[in-house]
Chain A
Amino acid sequence: MTNTSSPLSSPLANSLRSGPDDRGRFGIFGGRFVAETLMPLLLELDEAYRAAQADPEFRRELDYYLKDYVGRPSPLWFAQHLTEELGGAKVYFKREELNHTGSHKLNNVMGQILVARRMGKTRIVAETGAGQHGVATATVCALFGLKCTIYMGATDVERQKPNVFRMHLLGAEVKPVTAGAGTLKDAMNEAMRDWVANVADTYFLVGTVAGPHPYPEMVRDFQSVIGVEVKEQMTQAEGRLPDVIVAAIGGGSNAMGIFHPFLDDADVRLIGVEAAGHGLDTGKTAASISRGRPGVLHGNRTYLLQDRHGQIEEAHSISAGLDYPGIGPEHSWLNDIGRAEYVGVTDEEALEAFQVCTRTEGIIPALECAHGLAHVMKIAPTMAKDQIIVLNVSGRGDKDIFTVAHHLGVKL
C-alpha cells in the first residue's frame, strides 16, 4: 500500500464523480447560501484550494503527514467471528478508528490545515458534535502552533466529557453553546458567527461534507483516501470489489469518503445509515433524508428536518456525532438519483451492535459506526456467503463508554 495520494485525483467528465458544478451544486443541492460578508472568503478559499490541488508540493506534504502522523493507510480487517455469528456475507471493517486521534476526522483536518497555512491564517475555529472533529482540529493546531477555538453544544459537552478534556489538553479553547438544544446545529451557528466576526485572521475548519461550497467538495476529496484504500485493499484480499459498502451518516463525511471512489462502480451497493433516534416516526430522530425535505441551512441546500413553515427542527440521536438535522448535499443528490440508499437505525439497535462488535471482534466502535454495524447485522444474514460487505468503522468508542454505561444502567 503506497497509494495515499489519490484523494485529489480528478474523475472523467461524464462520471458521477465529477460534481459539484461551478456553482458548487450537486443537482439541485449544495450552493453557497451565506451572508455577503463571508462570500469573498469562500471565493478566496475556493481559489486557494484549486491552487493547492494543482501544486505537487501540496500533495507531497499531505502524503507525508497522512503516512507518518495520521498513520495511513488504515487496515482492512476481515471480521471473521462477526461473519460466522451473522451466518451470511463476509464482513470487512475499514479500520478508520486506528488513525491518530481515533477517527476518520483527521484525514480532512490534515488537508484543510495545510490549506489554511497556505492562506496565511493564524487562528482556527471549528464546530464539533461528538468531539472527534474538535479533537482532530485541536491536535493539528497543537502540531502547527495555531490558535484554536472549538464550538460545542452544551448538551454535547456534558455527554462527551473525555473529548472536551482532550481538547483542553491540546491547548484549544472549548466554548459551550447553550442556544437551541445545545447540539451540533447550534455549535455550527456559533462557529459561523465567530468566523464572520474574525474574517481577517481566522479559518473555519468545517468537519463534514456540508456547509457552503467549496467545503462539501474539499472535505470529500480529503476523506476519499478511505475509499481509494478500500478499493486497493479489497482487490488484494478478494480479487474483486465488495458487493455492499455501509457507513453511518451524521453530516456524512466518512460515508462520502468511502463511497466516492466507488460511485462509478455500479455493481457496488452504497448504503448510508442515518440515526433514527427513538424511531423514524417518533419525531425524535436525526434521519434527514428519510424524514426531512430539501431546504437551506448552514450555507447549503440539502435534506433537512424542518416543520412545514421552514423552521429547522431539533435532531435526536444517542450519538452526538449524528445528532444533526441536515446532511451533506452530495448525499442528498446520491439519494435522489438512486445511486446510494439511505436507511435508519435506532438508538437501541446501535447499542446492541456496539456490544456485539466489542464481544465478537474485540473492537469497541464509536456509537456513530455502531449504527452502520446494526444495519450490517440486518442484511448480512440475508446475503450469500460469498458476498462481501465493507463497514466503515469510522471511530473508536472510548469516548462513548459513559453514554453506553448510562443506557445499560451501569454506574462508572
Chain B
Amino acid sequence: MSRIQTRFAALKKEGRGALIPYLQACDPDYDTSLELLRAMPAAGADLIEIGVPFSDPSADGPTIQAAALRGLKAGATLGRVLEMVRAFRETDNETPIVLMGYLNPIDSYGPAEFCFDAAQAGVDGIIVVDMPTEEADLLDAHAREAGLDIISLVAPTTSNSRLFHVLREASGFVYYVSITGITGTNSASAADLEKALPRIREATSLPVAIGFGISTPEQARTASRIGDAAVVASALIKTMASTLENGQATERTVPAVLKQLESLAAAVRV
C-alpha cells in the first residue's frame, strides 16, 4: 500500500476525515518552509500539500500568487522542492506528501526524470493544475512507473458523464475544487458540498479531498465530514504573510502557522 492509501485507511478506522495543510515551497525562504513542513505532522497534518512556485499561477488568488513570488525570490526551483521533500523524509516516512503546481516547470525538468526523482525523494502524489485529463498522457505512464499518484481534479463544472471520464484511471485520492473560482476567494456551502459529493462518489471509490475556499475550523470540519479530507491553503499562508517583516521570516512565523493548524486539526477530530 502507498503512504496515501495507508493514511486514508487508518483515518477511516479512526472514523474521521483528513486535514491537508498547504505550504508554498521556499516561502519565505527554504529553511523556514522546511522547519514548518517538519513540524506540520505533530501539529495535526494528516497529509501535506507543497505548492511548487510558478511565475504565472493563473488558477490562484492573490494570497498564493504572493507566496509563489516570495518562493521564487528565495530561489525555489523544482529541484530545490525535491530537496526539501528528501530532507523531510529523513524525519518522517509516513505522512504523505503531494506536490501541487503548474505544468511548465515539470515540462522543463523533463516529465520522466521528474517522476523518477520525485518518487525517489519521497513524494507520493502530484497535482498539476493546468493538466486536464485530455493532456495527462504527458505524465501518466512515467508517474505509474515511478509509483506516483497523479491526483485528479474535478470541479462543479465537471458533468456527471465527464466525472466518469476524468476519474476512470484516477489513483491516490480525488481533489474536488469546490467553487468555480480561484484559490482563497469564495467558499462552498455545506449544502453545495452535500449535493456535489454523491455525484463524485458515483464515479469513484477513492477518497475525496475538498479544497479552494476552506479557511475556518468550522469549514474544515464540514468538508472533512462530507468529503474525506479538507485542504486549507490560503488561510494558512495569510497567517504566515502577516508575520513577515520586509518579506522575511520572524520568530513568530512558524509558531503562528502551527497554532492555526492545531485549531484546524482539533476541528476535524471533534
Contact = CB atoms under 8 A, between A and B. Distances in A.
B132 A35 contact: yes
Contact of A35 (B105, B134, B153, B156): B153
B56 A297 contact: yes
Interface in B15-42: none
A37 B104 contact: no
A308 B108 CA distance: 7
B58 interface: yes
B108 A31 contact: no
Given A192-B58, A193-B58, A39 B134 contact: yes
B148 to A, nearest CB: 18
Interface of B: 54-59, 61, 65, 72, 77-79, 102-109, 129-135, 153-159, 162, 166, 177, 180-182, 185-186
Interface residues of A, number: 37
Q: Which 3 A-B pairs have the closest CB atoms?
A: A310-B108, A310-B105, A197-B181
A32 B182 contact: no
A77 B153 CA distance: 53
Contacts of A37: 59, 155-157, 177, 180
Nearest to B129: A35
Given A196-B59, A196-B182, A312-B56, A36 B104 contact: no
Interface of A: 23, 31-41, 179-180, 185, 188-189, 192-193, 196-200, 295-299, 304, 306, 308-313
Contacts of A299: 130
Contacts of A297: 56, 104
B182 A40 contact: no
Contact of A199 (B58, B107, B157): B157
Nearest to A200: B180
Nearest to A198: B180
A192 B130 CA distance: 12
Residue from B78, B154, B157, B185 having most chain A Cβ neighbours under 10 A: B157
Given A196-B180, A296-B104, 18 more contacts: A32-B132, A32-B134, A33-B103, A36-B166, A37-B177, A37-B180, A39-B157, A40-B158, A196-B181, A197-B181, A199-B180, A296-B107, A298-B58, A304-B104, A306-B104, A306-B108, A310-B105, A311-B54
Given A23-B134, A40-B159, A35 B77 contact: no
Nearest to A301: B107
A37 B54 CA distance: 19
B58 A189 contact: yes
A330 B181 CA distance: 30
Given A35-B129, A35-B130, A193 B105 contact: no
Contacts of B58: 35, 188-189, 192-193, 298
A344 to B, nearest CB: 23
Contact of B132 (A36, A312, A313): A36
Interface of chain A, main secondary structure = mixed
A31 to B, nearest CB: 6
A312 B55 contact: yes
Contacts of B132: 32-36, 39
Contacts of B79: 309
A310 B153 contact: no
Contact of B105 (A33, A189, A192, A311): A311
5 contacts: A31-B134, A39-B134, A193-B182, A299-B130, A311-B104
A356 B106 CA distance: 46
A40 B132 CA distance: 10
Given A35-B59, A189-B58, A196-B59, A310 B155 contact: no
Nearest to B179: A197
B177 A311 contact: no
B71 to A, nearest CB: 11
Given A197-B182, A310-B104, A33 B78 contact: no
B78 A310 contact: yes
Nearest to A43: B162
Nearest to B175: A36
Which of A37, A185, A197 has the largest count of B CB atoms less than 10 A from its CB?
A: A37
A188 B106 CA distance: 22
Contacts of B131: 33
Contacts of A199: 157, 180
Contacts of A185: 56
Given A33-B135, A36-B132, A310 B107 contact: yes
Contact of B109 (A179, A310, A313): A310
Contacts of B56: 180, 185, 189, 297-298, 312
A339 B182 CA distance: 40
A374 to B, nearest CB: 30
A311 B182 contact: no
B204 to A, nearest CB: 14
A225 B104 CA distance: 34
Contacts of A193: 58-59, 61, 182
Nearest to A41: B157
Given A193-B59, A312-B104, A35 B72 contact: no
B180 to A, nearest CB: 5
Among B79, B103, B108, B109, max chain A CB count under 10 A is at: B108
Contacts of B135: 31-33
A41 B57 CA distance: 20
